[in-house]
Structure 1
Amino acid sequence: MSLIVLFVLVGTPLLLTMIALSLTRGSVETGEEWTRVRWMWAVAVLIGGVVAWLLYGSLDLGRGAMLVPAVLGVAVVVGVGLGETVVRPQRPAGPRSASLVARQVSDYLPRGLTAVVLATAVLHLATLTLTTVTASPDDMGRAGRQVAAQCGTTGSAASPYPGSYYSVPMSVVFLVIGLTTVAALMAVVRRPRGFAPDEVGDDVLRRWSTTRVLAAAGAALAASHAGTAFFAGTALLRMECQRAWMEPVGWVLVASVPVALLLLGWFLGRIVTPGALPAARPQQPAGAR
């Protein structure tokens, strides 16, 4: 992967985060604390960009490059969750009210986005499973870095192929993404009110934050799948000696690359513009405290 591609992978989320900071200003009336939350997003993504850059330079044979999208996705997810956990709105003086109805994460998840993220995760994990079980050691003895086939007395091999040499560290990072996504969603939904003047505004902010968390996880999955499917598919197709499954699977993987890239663009768009006002929720009883 060239430096230009890396700059795009690292710089695009940073730019989109700054755009998001400006677009969300004034769209919903918020308190001062919400500005600090948004800046925490930007700082988290900046740190994620630095970590991605270091991984790119330290891990050999493309492993660092394959982890760049996942690391940036973790950074966005952590930034949103941490911002709404660490920053606490000021409590108004005098009597306050508290909702007697517990908020559920499912109340704030956009259904379409959630379904697409889950489908992308299943597709990507299925691809990693396939490449892991079908890979073999390369000519230097590095396990899971090429795919090979034997046809009678002749054989063929192709690399790089995303077997265990690449899939194991990617799977570890995606486990981290899954755990941080769940933690961030819970932090967003369970945080106290006060970032907006009323509960309706707070619900809007929660809906936007959950959308950003999901979209960041989806973007990491889609970008990683595009790279994995491209290298796996092209490796399978350029082999002179193939098993029966290799050519059709190779074409399916290559065909999934543009789909993943389109999804990546959509996910990034949802990070920048997470959506409109949520549907009206039923009135919740409140009690003085």
Structure 2
Amino acid sequence: MGGLLAGIALAGFLVLVQPDRWLGLGIALAAPALAMCVVAGVLIGEVTAAAPQGTRRSAALEVRTLRSYLPRTLTWSAAVTVTGLAALLTATGLTGDADDLGRAGRVLTLTCGADGTQSTGPWPGTYYGAPIGAAVLAGLAGAGLAARTVVGRRRPDPAVRGADDLLRRASVRTIVASAGLLAATPLAGAAALTGHILVRSSCASPALHAIGWTATALAAVAGLGACGFAAEVLLPRRTATTPPRRSDAP
């Protein structure tokens, strides 16, 4: 909960207090910052969890794997979202141009035949894509570390293995949802900007108009996905009853 509250505060700060010279970059980084704080909160909670106490302790001989605790559908959804964001930012980064102040990737320049060129922005090129990509990569690295920590920590009591597995699965689910949110929100924003510029440009060819409508549809899907991931983070499932799909315990 502490990570979630810190993330909300940081996201609000980036949205409301960002300097004018950032040109909207704070809004683009707000959701990744929120997700990173949630992941950090889970990681800190697992690292600082109290170890078993007492002079006599018992342990179960078992091999736990991260795959056993991953929620299949949510994991695939997050992976597809991250892949989509990487593909879109790569494409917009390669096609973006510098604006009139030399800021790389902030505009899209299209040739209008004999009438010259038309530059339109803001375009989600490298000016926005580079920091977003760096934030998402850092967040994914933190999510991977947090998930490994959740799976690898010692059991507080082997006698309560079932309840402990449910807690691990809930923590891993929150981490995966945070990773999905980390990518879904900037994907929705970047796709919406891409679609808006391509659809409204008078210099865009029919093919570019089609790409623009496709990007607009992608923005809507990514927005719905972000809402779903956010619901998983804010309202985590703590009552799952299905055990891990695979157990290596003897």
* Same-fold call, TM cutoff 0.5: yes
Q: Is the 8 A contact 1:203 1:278 kept in 2?
A: no
Aligned counterpart for 1:241 among listed residues 203, 223, 235: 203
User: Deviation string for 1:187-246 (max 9, x for gaps)?
Assistant: 101111128960110000000000000001111211111111111110111111124542
| Residues 114-133 of structure 1 aligned to structure 2 (within 5 Å) | 114-133=75-94
- Asked if residue 101 in structure 1 is aligned to residue 62 in structure 2, the reply is yes
Partner of 1:134: 95
5+ unaligned residues in a row in structure 2: which ranges? none
Write the distance in 2 (CA, Å) between the matches of 1:153 and 1:177: 46
Equivalent position amino acid for 1:262 in 2: L
Please provide the CA RMSD for this pair: 2.0
Equivalent position amino acid for 1:268 in 2: A
Helix, strand or coil: the match of 1:97? coil
User: Deviation string for 1:166-207 (max 9, x for gaps)?
Assistant: 000001101101100110000101111128960110000000
Equivalent position amino acid for 2:249 in 1: Q
CA positional deviation for 1:277: 1.9
Helix, strand or coil: the match of 1:156? strand
Helix, strand or coil: the match of 2:109? strand
Partner of 1:52: 11
Partner of 2:38: 76
Shift of the 156–283 alpha-carbon distance from structure 1 to 2, 3 Å rule, reads: closer
TM-score (ref. length: structure 1): 0.78
Segment of structure 1 superposing worse, 204-213 or 265-274: 265-274
Q: Is the 8 A contact 1:147 1:236 kept in 2?
A: no
CA positional deviation for 1:60: 1.4
Partner of 1:279: 243
User: Deviation string for 1:54-90 (max 9, x for gaps)?
Assistant: 4341361101110000010101111111111112244
Write the distance in 1 (CA, Å) between the matches of 2:59 and 2:228: 37
User: Identity of aligned pairs, percent?
Assistant: 33
Write the distance in 2 (CA, Å) between the matches of 1:173 and 1:54: 16
CA positional deviation for 1:50: 3.4
5+ unaligned residues in a row in structure 1: which ranges? 1-41
Write the distance in 1 (CA, Å) between the matches of 2:237 and 2:187: 23
Write the distance in 2 (CA, Å) between the matches of 1:179 and 1:257: 25
Write the distance in 2 (CA, Å) between the matches of 1:215 and 1:240: 39
Write the distance in 2 (CA, Å) between the matches of 1:49 and 1:273: 16
Q: Size of the alignment, in residue pairs?
A: 243
Helix, strand or coil: the match of 2:84? helix
- Asked if residue 230 in structure 1 is aligned to residue 230 in structure 2, the reply is no
Segment of structure 1 superposing worse, 274-283 or 252-261: 274-283
Write the distance in 2 (CA, Å) between the matches of 1:268 and 1:282: 30
Partner of 1:203: 165
| Residues 1-289 of structure 1 aligned to structure 2 (within 5 Å) | 42-56=1-15, 57-58=18-19, 60-91=22-53, 93-154=54-115, 155-194=117-156, 198-243=160-205, 245-271=207-233, 272-274=235-237, 276-279=240-243, 282=247, 284-285=249-250
Write the distance in 2 (CA, Å) between the matches of 1:283 and 1:138: 57
Shift of the 195–118 alpha-carbon distance from structure 1 to 2, 3 Å rule, reads: farther
Segment of structure 1 superposing worse, 256-265 or 201-210: 256-265
TM-score (ref. length: structure 2): 0.90
Equivalent position amino acid for 1:233 in 2: G
Write the distance in 1 (CA, Å) between the matches of 2:185 and 2:80: 14
Write the distance in 2 (CA, Å) between the matches of 1:179 and 1:244: 40
